[in-house]
Amino acid sequence: MTTDQLEPTTMTASPSNRADPANGIVTVVIPAYQGGEELAACIRSLLASTCTDLKILIVDNASNDGSIENVETLFPSIEVLRNPVNVGFGAACNRGIDVAIQRHATYALLINQDTTVSPKMIDELIAFADLTPQAAVVGPKTLSSQPMPNGLPRLLYAGAWRTSLPLWQRIPGIGLADSDQHQSPILVDYVWGHGMLLRVAALRTVGTFDPGFFMYYEDLDLCARMTEAGWQAWSLPDAMMWHNVDDGARASNSEAWRWKRKVESMLLFYQKRSSFPTALFLTCATIGREAISLARHRHARSLWHLFSAAIQLGLGGFTKASDRNAPRSKSGSH
């Protein structure tokens, strides 16, 4: 797949394919964990949306910082589902997506707790998806909540593409000032889970997130499965959101713990698409490429945790992904 800008297929969505009006066209799913004040800010931005045909659903992963109680006080109409333990990002999203499927919503919109959205973002994503029947995943342009030193907006995401190492993504403009080069809808390989509109009809055929990914790469795995099944993933720069990557969920876990989860997910992603020896080779190659980047940017602490995670996990002792995780059913049910 190239980065050439393509015109989306235009087709008016059939009213018969639309959701039951009582349940909303789009169910917004917010997986939450130690969300703090940012979770409330995220909800406020959603409530300020020009899209009024939505339902907001929070799936909490056993937060104990009072953020969920605060949300229930401030927004009593918001629906909250509580997990008794932290089941991970993908599994929490699946619980909310399953509700969207059961209620016959047309779309499920995944939003991280540490994001805020522009008022028109949801309407713009839906309008594009309605006119592009093969679009199963549509992502907005994502800007950092921390601008450039000169005050210009800092770009985090306007499309991601796989390279010869599929998990080493090519992300044009990441970390740089936003520019006019990221303005047109474009076919991509990956849309990130912090903000992704999912077509429920596609989820019914392909399935939802693989819960074997506790954290990291579950979104890339789902995008890959969608495109392998003939659907499309798009980036829509006209739709915009802001993301704070230093949220409470990240701060509540050690860096060593996060790197361990990341390396685990690397291997699982590759195991699902190749033999175990090939998956092990690709994982080690991806770790090596990550290490080069960390060394170049002088992130010695992260480099240490990366290698420690690889050694502690004992990559050769992993079993195949097919043995470790039962596949998600096409209906999205557990």
Tens digits of pLDDT across the chain (334 residues): 333 334 444 333 333 345 554 456 999 999 999 999 999 999 999 999 999 889 999 999 999 999 999 999 999 999 999 999 999 999 999 999 999 999 999 999 999 999 999 999 999 999 999 999 999 999 999 999 999 999 999 999 998 999 999 999 999 989 999 987 667 899 999 999 999 999 999 999 999 999 999 999 999 999 999 999 999 999 999 999 999 977 555 555 688 999 999 999 999 999 999 999 999 999 999 999 999 999 998 999 999 999 998 888 775 445 444 444 444 434 333 3
Closest CA to 1 of 156, 147, 148, 159: 159
Q: Which of 210, 230, 249 is the last residue of a domain?
A: 249
In this structure, the answer to whether residues 282 and 192 fall within a common structural domain is: no
Q: Is 297 within a domain? A: yes
**Domain limits for position 316:** 254-324
Q: DSSP alpha helices (H): ranges in the chain?
A: 36-47, 67-74, 89-102, 121-131, 200-206, 218-228, 248-251, 255-271, 276-296, 300-313, 321-324
Q: What is the pTM of this model?
A: 0.86
In this structure, the answer to whether residues 149 and 279 fall within a common structural domain is: no
Q: DSSP alpha helices (H): ranges in 103-154?
A: 121-131
77 three-class SS:
coil
Report d(CA 97, CA 62) in Å as an integer. Answer: 18
In this structure, the answer to whether residues 279 and 245 fall within a common structural domain is: no
What is the reported pLDDT for 52? 87
In this structure, the answer to whether residues 183 and 241 fall within a common structural domain is: yes
In this structure, the answer to whether residues 300 and 222 fall within a common structural domain is: no
Q: Which of 249, 275, 294 is the last residue of a domain?
A: 249
